[in-house]
Structure 1
Amino acid sequence: MADDKLRLEKALEIKAKEEGFVAFGIAPATLAPKTQQRLKQWLSNGCHGDMIWMENRADERSNPTNLWAEARSVIMLGMSYAPATDPFALDDVSDHGRISVYAQGKDYHDVVKGALKRTARWLVEQADCAVKVFVDTAPVMEKPLAAAAGLGWQGKHTNVVSRDHGSWLFLGAIYTSLDLPSSTPGKDNCGSCSACQDICPTNAFSEPYKLDARACISYLTIEHKGPIPQQYRKAMGNHIYGCDDCLAVCPWNKFAQAGAANKAFLPRAELAAPALVDLLALDDAGFRQVFSGSPIKRTGRDRMVRNALIAAGNSGDPALIAPVQALLDDGDDAVRDAAGWALEELASAQP
């Protein structure tokens, strides 16, 4: 029986790699009590900000069997999106916006979930079991589960770090009723390195391994719906959707191969280096057209224009004054607020 399970596990790993996954491991359908306690403490401290769904479904998130009682094993899979270009390339190009590497190609939700479903369907055909697949949108603690399955470890930036793929992995989970042999858990290899902590523009890490989402640029530009808090606007620079700084600086990325990345995540030209002047001119229809098929589409036009206005204010570029002025009477409160701030910043930057 044990040999049969091992053969099934090996065949499953081969199938997963055929579907584009580069990392594979199996974890038991349970999380360590300390992981559950960390989640509870993080939520009680309000570090999740406006992400109320994390609080509302905390119990389901805290353990796989709380979400699905039949779960016995969790198959964790990683798909690479390692960039071929330097994520810091636009750092000093102030009239263009920086979009996180993961969002420059096709929507990872669609790509990863499709591959997960095909892999899970194969498993059901082979083993006549029950399965459920999850990518990011369900109450699943993918990162601790990935570490438990041996895909890597949760680094000081709180994301998964792989010895082979650095910080560039999309995670997917297959919950199954099968009781499969567990992989060896990942070992923390961060050591004394503090690169990800040191580079954070907004000091969002209260200490290593602890992130306050309310101060994180990724949260502020994607999840936060109102005006950007004043204390973070200058630090945002030209980040307009997400932030890769803590990921990109990780020394383990030297082992990540861009060739291992799924081709679906290759950057689209219009998302690799968008001009702020073009983003400031977007209306709803234009936004939907530019960001069709991208994970960015869920933020909506108003948040994107708000973010572009903050970047414009930080640019010091007089050519952006007129497009910023045109948004002072925008229909969205946060856009109007950002436009007023940006105009003041641009005016003060002129000789």
Structure 2
Amino acid sequence: MEQHFEFTQQISSRTNNLSGLQEFCTNLMVQSPEKVFQSFDFTSLSENSLISLIKRDDLQMKEVEVWENILKWGLAQNSTLIPDPSTWTDDDFKKMKVTLQNCIPLVRFFCLSSKEFTYKVRPYQKLLSNQFYEELLNSYLDPDSVSVYNVLLPRKIVTRSPPLENTAQVVDSLIVDSSIVSKISSWIDKTVDNKFANISEYKFELLLRGSRDGFTPKKFHELCDGKYNTVTFIKIKGSEEIIGGYNPLIWKSSVGTWGKTKESFIFSFKGKNIKDAIISNVKDEKYAIYCRSICGPFFGSDIFITACSESANYTNTWCRKFYYEKEIRKTTDEFSMEDYEVFQIKKQ
């Protein structure tokens, strides 16, 4: 039946008496959407068949691809429209909005990255209600914002690589678990909450662990210099606190140089409870990151980690508000590190 899927699907969708065949077709589309969409003209799907597909939590397709295929289907139902939305009139948008009125609510827009939103959704802004679009836009400007809408959770994508059965396989960490990893992923993608991030989209590659590699600037620079997109987790000794930061730039050994970026942020967690998490975005991007041979991961003087020499253990470690928006600790006292880890984050 897979070889003649288009015919099978069309026959099954014409009657309610072939529910078993309909279920087979839907399951095939859910598990192997690329095969189906490449093998036949999916725009011939009925609206009910399309809805039964895109409402599934287990649809094995990236959300941006779901959105793109819905738009293709909508265009096929309106043959007078051309694909470029910049040429559409208000009437064109109204026509397309009516066509897709039952499909658009099933798209998990809050799961999209900021780049996907900018290039794939914003040109079609008029297909969405003003209030919904404003909330969606705000979710990228303020990752801590909460939507009044019933936001759908990410689809349950099955990773094709070795199965992620436990936290250790998601991220090889002695400090954080999958909930914190997911939260960090959502902040990097500028989504609104940890529940909208898909952990399997990222690979957290361990570069350094203090308890394994030592607590010296020399070892930090040896293992982490030249690496883009790193996140540092620090477990504070004698407490449940976890602090850290995300650096999209490279670390490097130098006499003392500042790294400029508006994408970095620092954070704190009270143990592994993400409800009380604090994210602090960089305020003065000229002083986001500081690199020096006697320093460890150093975020704008707000997370301050130095030693008296490259080969000595860290002696000066504290958090004080300077170049980032918020305080991430209630105290400015020095702290000792129970352990710290640095990961490079890569898209899978």
TM-score (norm. length: structure 1): 0.30
State the structure with bigger RCO (CA 8 A, min sep 6), 1 or 2.
Answer: 1
Q: Which of 1 and 2 has greater Rg?
A: 2
- Structure showing the higher strand proportion among its residues: 2
TM-score (norm. length: structure 2): 0.30
